Amino acid sequence: MDRERFMAISVDRAGRMITFESCRGLQIRNVFSDYNSAMCYEMASDTKSRESWDKQELSGKSISRMNPLKLSRVFRFNDPETGAPQISDFPDSNPTGDTPLEIRMKHFTEVENFTFLAYVLGHELGGTAPRPIRTVTDLEVPDDEFQNFVNTAKTVSVTDEELADSVLDVGINWEHFVASNDNLLLPDHPLKISDVLMQEKIDALDIITEAFVRELNLRSVEKQTGTKAKKGHD
């Protein structure tokens, strides 16, 4: 692999250069133009074709993970049974770190990466027919405001791109709710904070984001196979 391309993956279109970091920055700030969006999708596709992988277990399956120099534990992979692009489950365990603050910072970085990977996948799927979000059917979250949001999600149908945009919306809220409360972290449990009501909001955003990503994974399998995926397929 060419070292320069590994260090700063970029796409040049009409004399304009965009790197992975600037692409992600545009996306996180929600200022995508069609031009920027197209460049980022091209770059993301190019990136995946150059990834090296090692073995890791996910949901009882042997899959391949992105190259070991990647800091985040979330990643995109192809389902070994169907070949469908999938986003890994969000980790249940804490990241490693020398201090509680470092652990928390790595956590909300993984939240950001998880959200961005799912956002890109949803737009790649490109389905234009609105469909229900099956993974929220029985969903309950520990916050009234966000439970109302879930209740609405149970009643609507959305396209793949609309679902991707919702993942971005909810996921970035999740990340910012985590990152904005570092001063309240519990040293023995750095992913938790002392404000119980705020922690419930964080947990609710986590649950919703993961549910939306599971729905995108289902839709990806269905697009790949041409059949309806089982709800439990990860």
Q: Is residue 158 domain-resident?
A: yes
pTM for this prediction? 0.72
Predicted confidence band at 92 (pLDDT cuts at 50, 70, 90)? very high
Q: What pLDDT was estimated at residue 63?
A: 58
Q: Which of 19, 34, 50 is the last residue of a domain?
A: 50
Q: Is residue 80 domain-resident?
A: no
Kindly state whether residues 213 and 161 are assigned to the same domain.
yes
Q: What pLDDT was estimated at residue 227?
A: 83
Closest CA to 97 of 116, 73, 65, 113: 73
Q: Is residue 136 domain-resident?
A: yes
Q: What pLDDT was estimated at residue 164?
A: 98
Q: Is residue 71 domain-resident?
A: no
Predicted confidence band at 232 (pLDDT cuts at 50, 70, 90)? low
Kindly state whether residues 11 and 113 are assigned to the same domain.
no
Kindly state whether residues 117 and 206 are assigned to the same domain.
yes
Kindly state whether residues 44 and 105 are assigned to the same domain.
no
Q: Poorest-confidence range of 2-11, 73-82, 86-95?
A: 2-11
Kindly state whether residues 110 and 208 are assigned to the same domain.
yes
Residue-wise pLDDT tens digits, 158-210: 999 999 999 999 999 999 999 999 999 999 999 999 999 999 999 999 999 99
Question: Amino acid identity, residue 155?
Answer: T
Kindly state whether residues 129 and 194 are assigned to the same domain.
yes
Predicted confidence band at 2 (pLDDT cuts at 50, 70, 90)? very low
Name the residue range of residue 117's domain. 90-225
Q: Is residue 204 domain-resident?
A: yes
Residue-wise pLDDT tens digits, 118-153: 999 999 999 999 999 999 999 999 999 999 999 999
Kindly state whether residues 96 and 204 are assigned to the same domain.
yes
Report how far residue 234's alpha carbon sits from residue 60's, in angstroms, rounded to the nearest whole number: 10
Kindly state whether residues 37 and 123 are assigned to the same domain.
no
Q: Angle at CA 209, nearest 5°, toward 175 and 84? A: 120
Kindly state whether residues 183 and 96 are assigned to the same domain.
yes
Q: Is residue 70 domain-resident?
A: no
What percentage of the chain exceeds 90 in pLDDT? 65
Residue-wise pLDDT tens digits, 11-46: 343 443 333 333 444 333 333 344 344 444 444 444
The backbone torsions φ and ψ at residue 60, rounded to the nearest 5 degrees and listed phi first, read: 80, 5
Closest CA to 174 of 208, 138, 145, 218: 208
Region 67-83: what's the mean pLDDT? 86
Region 46-51: what's the mean pLDDT? 36
Kindly state whether residues 164 and 221 are assigned to the same domain.
yes
78 pLDDT above the threshold of 90: yes
Determine which helix (DSSP H) or strand (DSSP E) holds 186, and give its type and residue range: strand 185-186
Q: Is residue 64 domain-resident?
A: no
Kindly state whether residues 96 and 192 are assigned to the same domain.
yes
Kindly state whether residues 211 and 101 are assigned to the same domain.
yes
- Tokens 């986590």 locate to 206
Q: Is residue 63 domain-resident?
A: no
Number of domains in the chain: 2
